[in-house]
Amino acid sequence: MTDTSPELPASDDGKIEEPRLWRDNGWTARVIKNDDDEGWAVAMFKDGEVEPALVGPWTMGRDKKNPKPLDTAAFNTLVKTASEVLRRHEQHMHAMLHKSVFVNADAGRIEVVLDIVPDEDDPYATLSARDEYGEQLAAVRVAPNFKLTPSSASAWIEGGFRRPT
């Protein structure tokens, strides 16, 4: 993709409404040339981010050469779509980094939670247990690749909450 739009101009309120550049409410839309074909694309950036949250095809104008200009309705639709993409990404990351299982033990129903901390230098995870009232029973640090399953949780509980090897 080739960015043919000008650099972001300074603006008092941050709002820009140009045919190929639109900024408002924490988002910037840039219409860019698609190097792969004769068409155009639009990239949506959340303020403060270097990488776009969304890149998609953009409609050609009437002359079939230049892009259709951005407008309020198109910008609002792009913001909604890009926000949803970010929301789904965050939900996916949360699901990957936070897992839990429930185990029926002698002490009652116990929730075992694995929270992974994907630190670049020292990734780790915390394995914790809570009783049915939310009271923490134990917490230990484990490897970030620890596999939390009902059987591994039961074994940890039965082993007196000692750090799994």
Same domain, 21 and 81: yes
Same domain, 38 and 104: no
Domain membership of residue 20 (yes or no) is yes
Distance, CA of 136 to chain centre: 29
Same domain, 26 and 74: yes
Residue 9 pLDDT more than 60?
Answer: no
Residues spanned by the domain of 59:
16-95
Domain membership of residue 9 (yes or no) is no
The pTM (predicted TM-score) of the whole model is 0.68
For residues 127 and 2, what is the distance between their CA atoms, to the nearest angstrom?
47
pLDDT tens across 115-159, in order? 999 998 999 999 999 999 999 999 999 999 999 999 999 999 999
